[in-house]
Each structure stands twice: as C-alpha cells, then as structure tokens.
Structure 1
Amino acid sequence: MTIDWNAKLQHLLQTLAFCLAVASIQFAFMPERSYAPGVVYSILVGTIIWVVVDIGRHAMPSAAETGWPKGFSGVLLVAAGIVAGYFFGNKLGDAICQAFGLFGPRGMAHTDADLRSGMLITLLAGIAGSYWFYSRNRSGYLERQVGEVQRHAKEARLKLLETQLEPHMLFNTLANLRALIGVDAVRAQEMLDHMIAYLRATLDASRAATHPLQAEFDRLRDYLELMAIRMGPRLAYTLELPAELAGLPVPALLLQPLVENSIKHGLEPKVQGGRITVRAHRDGPALVLEVRDTGVGDARASGDGPGFGLTQVRERLAALYGAQARMDFALTPEGAHTRIALPVS
C-alpha cells in the first residue's frame, strides 16, 4: 500500500499538538510539578503510539472505507500502540529528563500514584487519539463516496438533458420540412440535404461531452441554413468566431437551443423577420458567447416565456460548471440578447 507521507506529517503535527494539550491539562491539575518533564513524557508516549498505530496499520489488511485493520486486529493494534507508548515512552522520558536535569532538585521519583495516573492518561489519550484518526479516515472515505455519487448523478443529468434536446430539435425540423414539401419540393430537397449533414455532425458530436467551439459554430451554420430555406429573406444571420478561440472546448449543442429560441419567439412572429448574430470573444479569463436577434423583443407575448431552450441551457451550465458559469437573458425593444460566460483555462 502506498503511504501518503504528506498526510502522515499532518497526523504527526496533530499528535504533537494533542500531546502538548495533555501535558498542559496535567500541569493545570498538578502545578507543583515541573511542566517540562510532563511535556517530554507526553510527546514521547504520544509519538510512539502514533508510529505503532498510524504507520503500523499499513502493514496489515485494512478496510477500504477507513484504511484501518478490520475487526479485532484493529483493536489489538491500538492496544499494542498504547502499551509500547507507555513503556518505551516512559523509559526514554526518564533518560532524557535525567540527562538534561529536568526533574530539578526533586529528582526522579515515580510513586505508585504517578504510575497509575500515567497509565490511565496514556490509555485514555491513546484511545481518544486513535478514534480521532479513525473517524477522520472514515469521514474522508464517505466524502469521496458522496463526491463520486454526485459526479455520476451530474453525468446522468447531462445525458438526460441532451436526450431531451435532440428530439426537440429534430421534431421541429421535421415539422418544418413537412410544411415545405407541399409548397416547394425543390427547396424541401435542399432542406433535407442540409438536415442529413446536420444530423451526421450531431451524431459525431454526441460521442463526446464537449467539442471545439468551431464545431459548435459549424453546426449552427447548418441549422441556420435549414431555417433560411424555410423562412427565405426573412432570416439573416452572422456568425463571429475569432480564429484563436476556435479550438476551445464547449458543451455540445450549447448554442443551438438559444438560436432556435430566437427564431421561434423573436423572428417568426415578426412580419419582416430579422437577423441573428452569434458571437464569441474573450473577457479576461472567461469565454463569452452571445446570441442576439432583432426580433419582436419585449413585444413577445407574455405567455411565450423563455421556453424549453433557455431552461435547458441554464440547467446544463449549472450541472457542468456550477457557479463558475453565468447566463444572462434580456429583452429590449430591439430584440433579445443572451450572454453566456464560461471558465476557460
């Protein structure tokens, strides 16, 4: 088993702090004793217990959820650490305190009461410290498990949103194609060709959670060409993608619902139609994507609302980026404006 020595160093520092706290509590109850010997004994006893238990446990079969030996072997390990800490810690403490004269004029004199209290303190402190590290390990394991479950739930939610979006767009396009077949078969054939190209690109993109921004703009171009066949001169569009941003990864089909929303709620209700502009640019550390239309704007019927598209995009951003991404939607007399800011490395 690989040992995380940075974590072990943290555990050692925590153990030393705990030992100092124990020595201070002892001195508070027995101020007539010198403080220095109590610190030496406490640190030596606690450090030996820590070495035996926290290092020694890696030499034994351990439970995945705690990293500690399973069943009764874990209890024996803690008991062995406490016994070793008490005997070897006291022996070393005696030698060090005598060598440096820390006992003072009183000299080294361990009464039966001293031995009993030392054993009791070592037992209680050893159990408390071991349980503390055991609980921390178990809590860390549970946190990792919760994080893993949340990650899988987020992935499942994104897949659900994507499966909702694809049929939504497909059904709308098929309905438009059906309407066009009866009035202009040639344009319907052209629309069908664009649709096949679009669906082929969509199938390729569906195999990955993200794709380059250039691919997103290419798919928008295919979709807008489909809509231009049906709407004719009532639909104009502009796609602005700087070359340096073309390779940045973005969620697949992110902008499609916003463009569809602009057509359905903004341009189609307007007799003369209008223009859709899709633009990408950098704003400091963020990638900014904007979709503007010159549709009916705030004259939209109150019952239209933001619709499926905006809701779907907002939920995908929340699932993928959390608070790191932001989406703003505004209606003005001149049309609608959606702005998305994504974190980029």
Structure 2
Amino acid sequence: MPDTAPVHESFTAGGFARHGLIVLGFNTFIGIALAIGRGGDWRIQMVYAQCIGLSIWALMDFGRMAFHPDPETGWPRGWRRAVLQLGAVLGGYLLGSTLGDALFGRPLLDMWRGSPRMLLSYLLMCLAVSAGISFYFHARNQDQLRLRQLAAAQRDIAEHRLKLLESQLEPHMLFNTLANLRVLIALDPPRAQQMLDQLIAFLRATLSGSRAALHPLSAEFARVADYLELMKVRMGDRLQTELDLPAELGTQAVPPLLLQPLVENAIKHGLEPHVDGGRLVVSARRDGDALVLSVRDTGAGLSAAPADGTHFGLSQVRQRLATLHGEAASLSLQAATDADGGTLATVRLPWSPP
C-alpha cells in the first residue's frame, strides 16, 4: 500500500474550530474599530466585518488543502501561499460583501458601485488583516512544530540513554557470573558444568527477548527467576528464594534489567558473605499511584557491604529511573528492621493505567 502523508492537526474539526473562534475575535475588533472610526450604525459595520472576515478565513483555511500544504506546518510553501492568500482575500471580500448586502436587503455588490477609493481601502485593509492573521497561525504552527521536534528529540535521547545503560549492565552481570564460574571450575567441575549450561540458557532467553525500552513486569520476573536458577547452581541450598508477583501487576511496564542488579547486589554483598547463606524475596505491590518493587535478603546487612563505590548496578538503576521518570521514581536501600536482619531494596515507579 502507498504511504499516506500525515494529516496536520489544524486540518481536524478541532483545528478549524479554533481558527474560526480566533477569526471571530479579530472580526469583532475590526467591526468595533470601523464603527468608532467611520460612525454610522455599528450593527452594519459588525455584520459586514463578520461576513467578510469569515468568508476570507473559510476560503483560506479550507483552501489550504488544495495547495499541497506542508504536512508539518499545515500551510503551502512559496508562491502557492501567496496565491492562496490573495485569492482568499479577493474571493472572501466579494462573497462577504454579497452576504452582507443580502442580509440588509441592499442591492448586491452595492459597495462595489460606490467610490473606487473606498473599495480599494477596504481591500487593502482586508489584505493586511488576513496577512496578519495567517502569519499568526503560521507562526503558531511553527512553534508547535518546534515543540514536537524538541519532544521527539528528547524521547530519542532518553531512549538511547536507556539502551546505553542497559548495554552496560548486561556485560557487568556476565563478567561477575564468569568470575564465579572460574572459581567453581577449580573447586567443583561438575557444578561448574551445570552452571555453564544454566548460563547458556539464561543468555539465550535474555538475548532473544525484546530490546524495547520497557517490557512487562512478568517478563522482568521471568528474567530474575532465570538468574536465580543460575545462582542456585553455585550456592546450592545456601540460597533460598521467593518470587511474589500478583497476577494483576504482570502487565505493568518496567525497564528491562531493573530487578536483576538489585538481586545480584543482594546475593554478592548480603547472602554470599554468610556461611549459611540466607533467603531472598522479590515482590511487587501497588501503593496508591505507585508500583513498589522490593528485593529483600536476610544476609549480612548494609554495614557489611563495601563502601568503595563498587555498586555499579545500583548506580545504573538509579540513572535509568531518573531518565524514565525523573523525580517520580526512586530506589532506596535500608536495613531490614525485623529479627531476620539483612537489607531491603525498594523501587517506586509511577503506576501505569492498563
């Protein structure tokens, strides 16, 4: 099928209505000015101003569609624009004068038979006013175009930034996993083989997934589950896990690899230092207008975590949240307050209506 040019928003019913209301306002101002400047019955001046002004607007605004308008601005370019404006003024003045004469029971085109100088002055005034109004509409459309282009550029920048941050996270996770695998090869070759098989399966599932900036929360939990299976090969019974995702939250959109760095951090700095390991719980819940994601471990706690700036994954998560949602999203780390101890990582995101 052939491509169709996008329709500018000013060619919608709402766009025409907005233009018509603005023209009504200009016409009213001109009618008042003529009544004050020339005297006479103000109602006659007002009716003629509205008839002529609206006729010029209708011919110009609707006539744009016949002059190959620019899809971005809604106006024709070059000589077509000049022809449209001149033709709309002459035709609109003729049509509006005829309508005014008909409304007041005058002979049609009565004004055209009067003073040529007055006729010329009216035409010049209509040309000047219509040029001013069309310039206003054109400038307004240009401003809207620049705003749309700026918004599109900002979206592109944000999307590329998210892609960059995600691409940095994946090799970071892979490096840590391979480092663990290297240690395991020397200590327990059969388990190292099992871990390698699990790593291959995990990478296959991850790399075949969507590369979009967002994906469903259910897909994020599936990635976490795959990663935890990989870690269980290394830690065995020392790693106990629980994933709690209510079904109604599964369609919420979140950035990929949002939870995995938090899980990796909890295992590396919380559970692995413990001889007996511990429990890790990943959960999701709704809190008013927020989606709350939690990663809780019963490990060594915040005081045992290194403070040398090695929490690369946490920094990346914060940057991605700020890029996507600004101050509306956050990541917090705090010591668990119950008897099991450990650390609680909490992500708050704006709730996305279904």
CA displacement at 1:113 relative to structure 2: 7.3
Q: Is the 8 A contact 2:60 2:84 kept in 1?
A: yes
Secondary structure in 2 matching 1:278: strand
Distance 1:247 1:73, change over 3 A: closer
Percent identity, aligned pairs only? 47
| Partner Cα separation in structure 2 for residue 270 and residue 24 of structure 1 | 86
Deviations 1:150-204 (A, max 9, x none): 3333332222122111111111100000011111112212211221221121122
| Partner Cα separation in structure 2 for residue 145 and residue 341 of structure 1 | 27
- 1:47 pairs with one of 41, 47, 54: 54
Deviations 1:242-263 (A, max 9, x none): 2343454443222101111222
Distance 1:92 1:221, change over 3 A: closer
Deviations 1:78-123 (A, max 9, x none): 1111222333323332332357xxxxxxxxx977775465334322
Tell whether 2:186 aligns with 1:191. no
The 5 Å alignment of 1:248-287 reads 248-270=252-274, 273-284=277-288, 286-287=290-291
Secondary structure in 2 matching 1:253: coil
Secondary structure in 1 matching 2:332: strand
Q: Which amino acid aligns with 2:317?
A: V
Task: Tell me the C-alpha RMSD between the 2 structures.
Answer: 2.9
| Partner Cα separation in structure 2 for residue 145 and residue 168 of structure 1 | 35
| Partner Cα separation in structure 1 for residue 49 and residue 304 of structure 2 | 76
Secondary structure in 2 matching 1:205: coil
CA displacement at 1:281 relative to structure 2: 2.1
Q: Is the 8 A contact 2:48 2:97 kept in 1?
A: yes
Q: Which amino acid aligns with 1:61?
A: H
Q: Which amino acid aligns with 1:181?
A: I
Deviations 1:208-237 (A, max 9, x none): 554443332232122223323334454332
Task: Name the TM-score, length of structure 1 as normaliser.
Answer: 0.84
- 1:204 pairs with one of 208, 221, 246: 208
Secondary structure in 1 matching 2:187: coil
Q: Which amino acid aligns with 1:332?
A: A
Tell whether 2:332 aligns with 1:329. yes
Answer with 62-71 or 110-119: which moved more: 110-119
| Partner Cα separation in structure 2 for residue 273 and residue 29 of structure 1 | 92
Answer with 265-274 or 172-181: which moved more: 265-274
Unaligned residue ranges in structure 1 (runs of 5+): 100-108
Tell whether 2:228 aligns with 1:224. yes
Unaligned residue ranges in structure 2 (runs of 5+): 107-112
Task: Name the TM-score, length of structure 2 as normaliser.
Answer: 0.82
CA displacement at 1:9 relative to structure 2: 1.8
Aligned to 1:103: none
Secondary structure in 2 matching 1:216: helix
The 5 Å alignment of 1:1-345 reads 3-29=11-37, 32-98=39-105, 115=119, 117-270=121-274, 273-284=277-288, 286-300=290-304, 303-305=307-309, 307-322=311-326, 326-332=329-335, 334=341, 335-344=343-352, 345=354
